[in-house]
Structure 1
Amino acid sequence: MPFIEIKVRKQIDSTLAKKIINKDCVSAVLTTGKITGPAKDLFRENDIAYAENVPEKLFMESEAQEEG
């Protein structure tokens, strides 16, 4: 079953991108930090959508809505 990988970190580089790709079930990656150019290339080559610089506040608000 495909899932979305969420990372709260400063940067996703090609080494981490390869680890995510090797899981064989990630359809998208969201991160609060940056994604390097080579990592973006790897995600594109493997049909994995990505979003970078997602504010942590959005996750916190979403979590509060789910619980409330």
Structure 2
Amino acid sequence: MEKENPTALQAKENKSADGMLFAINPLSVERHILRIQAGQMLNAAEMFQTACGRKGDHDHNKSSAN
């Protein structure tokens, strides 16, 4: 069995509503965080593609690309 991380232990001791929710279902919180991170990564990839001129509406390097 893995050791519980300190954040999860803190949340279980925490008496606030957020702490209680976290203590009740830490996996759903973790999934929510991962979903947010995935969205941020997709946004970053999209911005990178736009900056590199790989999107249809941004053709900064069109003349030098071919």
The higher radius of gyration belongs to: 2
Larger helix percent: 2
Fold in common (TM above 0.5): no
Tell me which protein shows more strand as a share of its residues. 1
TM-score, structure 2 as length reference: 0.30
Higher relative contact order (CA 8 A, sep 6+): 1
